Amino acid sequence: MASAIKNEFRTGEAIFGTVYLGMNVKDLMDGNVELRVRIRVDGGTAVWGGDLSYFDLPLSVQGKSYIQFALLPDAQWFKDNYAPYISQENWTYSYFIDNLVKAGDVSHEISCDLLFPAIKLGEVESKLNLDLNAGIGDLKTLSTKLHNELMASRQLPKAGMNNAGIESQMAAAANKLGWNDKFTNAIITSSNWTVRKNELTGTIVNRTLGAVCITKDPDGKCYTQEFTFAQDYTGGGNYSGTIKFYSYGGKREIGCDKIK
């Protein structure tokens, strides 16, 4: 009997998928256990930027020519399978459900593209409709639950070195950027300085340290912002005592209870 392909779902229904690939999953994963996924709600920005989101695909399930995955899981799936997502700080499901809640209790088009590491198969694309007209109360509850679980597991990065003077200068340099964020303090994440040289001449330009600066927004949420700061080379093996902004990286929410 031929299997039916369902692409219409309603409030309260779990959504699972099976993809038949025609080749061994292990060959397509190329030693990886993270299957990248790009999820969009109503054609909007991909969940978690589309570059960080992934499904956990252990080696134990890669010996087949098909995969099964959960897009909008039920409570039992979360109970049985979600622990690795918490330990790895994988926000894919949390952000997806957040997006559904923000999109509201109407009908939505959901696209889900799977991107395998090995260049042997193109993107596996799928679309479905999710009718939430009956309400999103349960999704709101789940959104809060997943967010709180992930936040509880998140810790401030460990200091690679401690230097109160440099840390103070880092926070000041970050605040001079003119962002809306107001940074209160910094944690140096590098354990050593990185010396940077001119690629053409080989002469020393500066030395840098990685750090995170801490901020709290008007809504009471706390964040860490990644930065790299530099000291200019002044010659004779010496560097300026002034810390300058060099570059910035990712921004992550952190529980305000973790901020000292």
Amino acid, res. 46: A
Q: In 3D, which of 194, 229, 188 has the Cα closest to residue 211?
A: 188
**Is the Cβ–Cβ distance between 205 and 197 less than 8 Å?**
yes
**Is the Cβ–Cβ distance between 95 and 41 less than 8 Å?**
no
User: pLDDT value at position 4?
Assistant: 58
Burial level of 95, CB count in 10 A (0-12/13-18/19+)? Answer: buried
Amino acid, res. 226: E
User: pLDDT value at position 2?
Assistant: 39
**Six-digit token string for 237:** 């093996």
List, in order, residues 6 or more apart from 164 with CB less than 8 Å away: none
Quote the strand ranges of 21-106, DSSP E.
Answer: 34-41, 54-56, 66-72
**Is the Cβ–Cβ distance between 210 and 188 less than 8 Å?**
yes
Q: In 3D, which of 233, 232, 234, 194 has the Cα closest to residue 210?
A: 194
CB atoms inside a 10 Å sphere around CB 53: 22
What's the predicted TM-score (pTM) here? 0.77
Distances in Å between the Cα of 61 and the Cα atoms of 25, 65, 99 are 8, 10, 29
Which residue's entry shows tokens 């401030």?
Answer: 156
CB atoms inside a 10 Å sphere around CB 221: 13
User: pLDDT value at position 136?
Assistant: 96
Q: Side-chain half-sphere of 108: how many Cα atoms within 13 Å?
A: 27
**Is the Cβ–Cβ distance between 220 and 194 less than 8 Å?**
no
Cα–Cα distance, 252 to 130 (Å, whole number):
29
Strands lying side by side in the sheet with 107-115: 8-10, 124-131, 107-115, 34-41, 54-56
Q: What is the pLDDT along the chain (260 residues), one digit of tens a residue?
A: 334 579 999 999 999 999 999 999 999 999 999 999 999 999 999 998 778 899 999 999 999 999 999 999 999 999 999 999 999 999 999 999 999 999 999 999 999 999 999 878 889 999 999 999 999 999 999 999 999 999 998 999 999 999 999 999 999 999 999 999 999 999 999 999 999 999 999 999 999 999 999 999 998 999 999 999 999 999 999 999 999 999 999 999 999 999 87
